[in-house]
Structure 1
Amino acid sequence: MVTITTWNINSVRLRMPIVEQFLKENAPDVLCLQEIKCQEQQFPYKAFAELGYEHAVVHGQKGYHGVATVSRIPMQEFSRHDWQDNGEARHVGVEFPSLDGLVLENVYIPAGGDIPDREKNAKFGQKLDFLGRMTHWAEAIDRPTLLVGDFNVAPLECDVYDHKALLKVVSHTPLEVETLGLLQGAHEWVDLGRKHIPAPERNYSWWSYRTYWQGKDRGRRLDHMWASPDLAAQSRGHTIAEHTRDWEKPSDHVPLTTEFDL
């Protein structure tokens, strides 16, 4: 079995204590991080190596965004795409030679600002264009691939705490849901979160810092793990470490982990 975790950590250096706690308690084989907020030379390689994660592929930038994949299993960098088309560090792909060449794509899709109108809000247009470029890329995938990360879209009605209230809120608008659906259809991606936790079961991965997360439970499912159909057939379980949202100095996102029979 191989276990793979994805987590928007919201600053890896600031939250290294809870990363260490999670890794000691759960020991996934691979950890994909988004929003690491550091340059590649600032990444805590030594801390991860001491925890058994000697392999690391990092795409970082100063103070913002950034993605990293760390692993116990040997891997090599496979791809870096600039789907934002502005040089931001939002993607890195790795390949695992010992796992029949499995490709793992780690992505941080833009949040899209506050106004769901590309004419009034350039960030919203950039998010839609980012997804469009990803869709074009996905059409050409020809090998087993796992796509994980912070997608910043909660696609299903049951993926948010109040569907009607959030229809005009960025992350759950019909246009974003439709655009994400085109990406999913481009490779017939299987949504592992909903394969193992079928709708309408509760399945959130993000709670705002602005509200008491557990009391009001205003969650959204913004983080996802999607697999090529053949790879999805090998998934055996999917868990959400919701309790980490209550740890000291937590991220506003929680880790998702999928277990594969590889």
Structure 2
Amino acid sequence: MSQKLKIASWNINSVRARIDIVTRFLNEEAPDILCLQETKVVNDTFPGGVFRQLGYNHQVLHGQPMHHGVAILSRVPIREDDRLDWQANGEARHVGIRLDNGVRLENVYVPAGGDVPDRTLNPKFGQKLDFLERMVEWAGKLDKPTILVGDFNIAPLECDVWSHKQLIDVVSHTPIECEVLSRLQAAHNWVDLGRRFYPAPQRLYTWWSYRARDWQASDRGRRLDHMWVSPELADKALSHKVCEPCRSWMRPSDHAPLITEFEF
């Protein structure tokens, strides 16, 4: 018997500050599972009751004060709560679960990496690269069908940014970041659902800076948020979209949510 599941991923940039648009999104799009990044809240004060009122009774939280934080909220049972420390310093940047059909769902918030793309001058950039290297090692050992979602903080292709020429030396689109992300993809032969449904060079962005007075008019976007799947799950994905209108809602995140519908 087949099962359809809609899985959403969103860097919400503070779940408490943006709880109104989160609830609007859940009411309008009705995903079965929502993966959040940058929740910026400890587990004890996460607004779990709001999600339970909407039917998201299964909640796996990994928070910390003021920074980072990830969560998985689900209307279907989820099991095997894992937290991997790819940052190697205890930051709350990953949470993973297993669905009843055996599929793993991993939710990750990769470090932004600071402003200077040089690990000597900018230790945060080195931390980002080391984080990804640990993910490469992890991915190479995977033996279960897996969905990997989250804010990767890298726009890997030239067409994943508004101007490759102007951003090639800007953290999130530098050659060294794109190279390590390419190795991460190769380590498990991940299928990038964004580009499966919207082949390059089609426009496909998930993030627009708050600095733009009119983000839609300037459209200086980057594709920083991703959904990847194990090769055997690629044909299970029925549809995929970026919910761009959410970027215009009241007090928005600078990221737009992604949704994929699967049939298992």
Same-fold status (TM-score > 0.5): yes
Structure 2 length normalisation: TM-score?
0.98
Secondary structure of 1:147's aligned partner: strand
1:9 is aligned with what amino acid?
I
The reply to whether residue 78 of structure 1 matches residue 88 of structure 2 is no
Deviating beyond 3 angstroms after TM superposition, the runs of 4 or more aligned structure 1 residues are none
Q: Residue 241 of structure 1 corresponds to which residue in structure 2?
A: 243
Cα shift at 1:78: 3.4
Give, in angstroms, the shift of residue 88 of structure 1. Answer: 0.3
Cα-to-partner distance string for 1:119-147 (whole Å, 9 max, x where unaligned): 10000000000000000000110011000
In 2, distance between residues paired with 1:104 and 1:201?
Answer: 27
Provide, for residues 44-76 of structure 1, a one-character-per-residue CA deviation record: whole Å limited to 9, x for no partner. 111000011010000000000000000000112
| Distance of 1:202 and 1:41 partners within structure 2 | 40
Q: What one-letter code is carried by the residue in structure 2 that aligns with 1:54? A: N
Residue deviations 1:181-206 (CA, integer Å, cap 9, x gap): 01000000000000011111110000
Match of 1:61 in 2: 64
Letter in 1 for 2:139: A
- SS of the residue corresponding to residue 233 of structure 1 reads helix
User: Greater shift after overlay, 102-111 or 208-217?
Assistant: 208-217
Instruction: Confirm whether residue 15 of structure 1 aligns to residue 21 of structure 2.
Output: no
Letter aligned with residue 214 of structure 1: Q
User: 1:136: which partner in 2?
Assistant: 137
Within 1, Cα distance between the matches of 2:39 and 2:110? Answer: 14
Identity %: 61
Contact 2:162/2:219, CA 8 A, preserved across alignment: yes
Per-residue Cα deviation, 1:127-183 (whole angstroms, up to 9, x for no partner): 000000000000110011000000000000000000010000000000000000010
Which string of whole-angstrom CA distances, capped at 9 and with x for unpartnered residues, describes residues 80-102 of structure 1?
A: 111001110000001112xx211
In the alignment, the residues of structure 2 paired with residue 71 and residue 197 of structure 1 have an alpha-carbon distance, to the nearest angstrom, of: 27
The aligned amino acid for 1:246 is S
Residue 214 of structure 1 aligns with which residue? 216
**C-alpha deviation, 1:27, in angstroms:** 0.2
Aligned amino acid, residue 150 of structure 1:
D
Q: CA RMSD in A?
A: 0.6
In 2, Cα distance between the equivalents of 1:225 and 1:258? 8
Q: CA deviation at 1:20?
A: 0.3
Aligned 1:1-262 pairs, distance under 5 A: 1-97=4-100, 100-211=101-212, 212-262=214-264
Structure 1 regions of 5+ residues with no counterpart? Answer: none
| Cα offset, 1:233, TM superposition | 1.6
For structure 2, list consecutive stretches of 5 or more residues without a partner in the other structure: none
Q: Are 2:60 and 2:81, in contact at CA under 8 Å, matched by a contact in 1?
A: no
What is the alpha-carbon distance in structure 2 between the residues aligned to residue 111 and residue 127 of structure 1? Answer: 7
